[in-house]
Amino acid sequence: MTIGEWIDGRVRPVPVEFRPHLSVGGPVSPDGLLAAAERKFTDCAVDSPRDRGAAFSLLAADACVTYACTLAMTEDADASTLRGAARRVAHGWWDSLP
């Protein structure tokens, strides 16, 4: 199953206007969702702060992180998995900014 298929199968659907911003590829997994969030975060950093697209990229990054944590919890991941995700978000992304 792909990330997009997993997102589309959620009980609470993503608003139609926002769904294109979550068009990310790859297999669904916490790691895959975090990688998608990283890409969206980088897109946000590249966009002009006055461009509305930057806000949507940041919201999409946030959604992917939330989905990654949700998926980890539903897969009965232990606390170290969630701590690793938090570390990855807090420390890894800033170094990749242009």
pLDDT band at 88 (very low <50, low <70, confident <90, very high): confident
Q: How confident is the model at residue 75 (pLDDT cuts 50, 70, 90)?
A: confident
- Cβ neighbors of 39 (< 8 A, separation 6 or more) are 24
Distance between CA atoms of residues 23 and 10, nearest Å = 14
Q: How far is CA 74 from CA 25, 43, 68, in A?
A: 21, 28, 10
**In a 3-state reduction of DSSP, which class is residue 82?**
helix
Give bridge partners of residue 27 from the DSSP assignment.
Answer: 2
The answer, yes or no, to whether residue 47 has pLDDT greater than 80, is: no
Distance CA 98, CA 45 (A): 7
